[in-house]
Structure 1
């Protein structure tokens, strides 16, 4: 039996008879990781609308800092083992991540009947045909953000069409004394290097959807994959040529985005939640900052979503009302515009969204664009930590040799347990 299954089986047994932390039946105890910029503003607005519709309830929110939710997930597991689950908590929406928690979650199919989202979005999160999380916001990961003033000052023509062209532009930017590409993967956030890996990989021949469908299913050997090695080569070029900031390992994702926002760096690779951070700084889309899919990846949409789940042992009306509320157009159009995300709900009016979000949603709804569930949802939960460490070690010593490839093989085996 796999170790993850053993752990969750134990947790499931501990959940028997567990009760939520709320001291009152009208308190909704929520754990989430939205603490930065537009993210915090978005979830606060969502709570406010929920309370407007349900004035009999109150919110006890417990934000846990740490992009990507790694710190929160560890805390939730501790609470589960203590028999004190919250009413609901946030995890990344995707079959891999949800499978890592499924033994301690309640099915919610009956609560979200009629949720008007695309069928393939349901499939992203189903585990053995069952829904356990309600997806709230669509996010594109392979976004290239840029400082409009610097792009104009340096005479860079946008959009950049290919990876080779992007590397050439980075060389020009460095020669002018600016940081070409802002990167932040410190403070326990090494997994952001995986987002960079996904973007670069998808710009290469044989990468993107063709690669990730097997890679995130445990069917790849990194040292034997030509496109995996080619991706490492491009990452090495970014590092050894000085195209990224020297302090990448000391910055969080939002601190790295600030390098671009304040004119120290020209480009930044991050999901579209970065837009919410920029607008929270009073930056205007397509005026102060711009967007395009990472060069060479306009044929692929790397994405994921956030969702809320119901732990086993929680049988409170307030928690179920929360899950049902999240399926409404009002919830989507309250939360998503502030966070910088796009709505899944097919009948959500789009007049409240800026042009960048509309463009991103257009990519997602284009049948000619391949959809890839990102590292946050497709592989098992352990991938983020294990490969975050592996990529961080590689960034610190970017040599491609037998030892390096062996380390990636070992990490892959650890995640997929074979």
Structure 2
């Protein structure tokens, strides 16, 4: 990938503008507000504003302050479900040459537009400096690297997208195997039908982005990891019969979901399983926090298994931090990235967030039963990139896929597989 470089004069102008704006004050998180950067702090932009994400960030900041007591952490963030509002705000700031020192991004193809815009710096040198090439899995390094071998972010964690959560009591009460393990989507559909006939909501889902999340797991469960990955690198034909089958499966699964889905986000959809109002929910492993907060025990009160047809595959995404281009004090940002990637930082943060460290040199016994399962899977299974969470495609293409999905299954969706398939194929152009 080729990054456009600004001229020296433009850089000087941008830095001068940022310093002038910073002197004027402002409220972090407002699009027109100046960054809170100066020579003694690091401004960090995330959408971690509530729940375990905020608690995890606070704990990570505590580690940072212990490791780098001379640098003040500045929370330069906005709120936003799934990061959508935060990303729009961030894009405005970047275009107006008012970047935070570092910002949260999903590792992988989501970075492409930032790289092409010249908004982020290559941090490959820090991987060598911090010894990360020795402690991050080779598959992860490959997923993080661009075609020319550069890396533009440092992951704070690893999440698994292809997880299904189930209420074993609801399943058992309706004559269904409470292990909730399905080798195929066809077998899963058969049990969804049983539940619907019994008057139980078979599968809970939320608003559009959660439906795109469901779509990616159905594509993966129907096509398998190689053909699924081919959708993003161009080796799988979107117009093929196997993709048609996957989209028909998606349509069928959506027919078994709750009617109020457009009014819910993922926590409410997950809560339906916790409360026994739905049997299944397919969501990333950040959902484990909801079960933990409800004081439910894995294997007894709830079940966590790979989504139907996806056993042996780890659908990966990672919350990562960049180093913005043209910033005042790159060494302060380097210090933040050092903490994010350190053993103490990764253990502290992930024990709270429910995800797993990117590092392999950690003590697995410090983590929960679910996290130990995820660490084992990440070590052993085939790794693929998440569609809905920025690893597989750039933001612009994800937006197009999201729009097509909403047209297909939204409140006014036309439910036509052929049209949906054509719209998805058009996103590759």
Q: Same fold (TM over 0.5)?
A: yes
Query: Of the candidates 176, 180, 201, which is equivalent to residue 219 of structure 2?
Result: 201
Partner of 1:274: 287
Once residues 9 and 119 of structure 1 are traced to their aligned partners in structure 2, the CA distance between those partners, rounded to angstroms, is 30
Partner of 1:217: 233
Once residues 54 and 201 of structure 2 are traced to their aligned partners in structure 1, the CA distance between those partners, rounded to angstroms, is 28
1:84 equivalent to 2:98? Answer: yes
Where in structure 2 are the equivalents of 1:141-156 lying within 5 Å? 141-156=161-176
Where in structure 2 are the equivalents of 1:12-51 lying within 5 Å? 17-18=14-15, 19=18, 21-51=35-65
Partner of 1:159: 180
Which range is displaced more, 347-356 or 315-324? 315-324
Secondary structure at the aligned position of 1:291 is classed as strand
1:359 Cα offset (Å)? 1.2
Once residues 261 and 210 of structure 1 are traced to their aligned partners in structure 2, the CA distance between those partners, rounded to angstroms, is 34
Where in structure 2 are the equivalents of 1:102-113 lying within 5 Å? 102=115, 103-113=118-128
Where in structure 2 are the equivalents of 1:280-295 lying within 5 Å? 280-295=293-308
1:287 Cα offset (Å)? 3.6
Partner of 1:340: 354
Once residues 27 and 62 of structure 1 are traced to their aligned partners in structure 2, the CA distance between those partners, rounded to angstroms, is 11
Partner of 1:126: 145
Secondary structure at the aligned position of 1:106 is classed as coil
TM-score (norm 2): 0.85
Secondary structure at the aligned position of 1:97 is classed as helix
Once residues 263 and 12 of structure 1 are traced to their aligned partners in structure 2, the CA distance between those partners, rounded to angstroms, is 61
Once residues 153 and 182 of structure 1 are traced to their aligned partners in structure 2, the CA distance between those partners, rounded to angstroms, is 18
Q: Deviations over 1:282-328 (max 9, x none)?
A: 43433432200012211322111110001101242321100111121
Once residues 195 and 383 of structure 2 are traced to their aligned partners in structure 1, the CA distance between those partners, rounded to angstroms, is 32
Query: Of the candidates 274, 292, 295, which is equivalent to residue 261 of structure 1?
Result: 274
Give the paired residue count: 397
Partner of 1:179: 201
Q: Deviations over 1:60-84 (max 9, x none)?
A: 2244333442322221111112221
Once residues 259 and 12 of structure 1 are traced to their aligned partners in structure 2, the CA distance between those partners, rounded to angstroms, is 55
1:365 equivalent to 2:379? Answer: yes
Query: Of the candidates 254, 257, 262, which is equivalent to residue 244 of structure 1?
Result: 257
1:155 Cα offset (Å)? 4.1
Q: Deviations over 1:176-227 (max 9, x none)?
A: 3322111112xxxx233222112112222xx1322233211245542x2222
Partner of 1:409: 425
Query: Of the candidates 107, 114, 136, which is equivalent to residue 117 of structure 1?
Result: 136
Q: Say if 1:33 and 1:72, in contact at 8 Å, map to a contact too.
A: yes
Query: Of the candidates 111, 127, 145, which is equivalent to residue 98 of structure 1?
Result: 111
Q: Say if 1:67 and 1:253, in contact at 8 Å, map to a contact too.
A: no
Once residues 314 and 22 of structure 1 are traced to their aligned partners in structure 2, the CA distance between those partners, rounded to angstroms, is 12
Residue 218 to residue 67, structure 1, CA distance change in 2 (3 Å): farther
Once residues 10 and 400 of structure 1 are traced to their aligned partners in structure 2, the CA distance between those partners, rounded to angstroms, is 46
Q: Say if 2:247 and 2:421, in contact at 8 Å, map to a contact too.
A: no
Once residues 211 and 379 of structure 2 are traced to their aligned partners in structure 1, the CA distance between those partners, rounded to angstroms, is 27
Q: Say if 1:191 and 1:389, in contact at 8 Å, map to a contact too.
A: no
Q: Say if 1:108 and 1:131, in contact at 8 Å, map to a contact too.
A: yes
Secondary structure at the aligned position of 1:351 is classed as helix
Once residues 402 and 10 of structure 2 are traced to their aligned partners in structure 1, the CA distance between those partners, rounded to angstroms, is 30
Partner of 2:319: 306
Query: Of the candidates 138, 163, 169, which is equivalent to residue 158 of structure 2?
Result: 138
Residue 235 to residue 402, structure 1, CA distance change in 2 (3 Å): closer
RMSD: 2.5
Q: Say if 1:39 and 1:273, in contact at 8 Å, map to a contact too.
A: no
Once residues 218 and 8 of structure 2 are traced to their aligned partners in structure 1, the CA distance between those partners, rounded to angstroms, is 39
Q: Say if 1:134 and 1:307, in contact at 8 Å, map to a contact too.
A: yes
1:280 Cα offset (Å)? 3.5
Higher relative contact order (CA 8 A, sep 6+): 1
Once residues 195 and 358 of structure 1 are traced to their aligned partners in structure 2, the CA distance between those partners, rounded to angstroms, is 23
1:388 Cα offset (Å)? 1.0
Q: Say if 1:108 and 1:132, in contact at 8 Å, map to a contact too.
A: yes
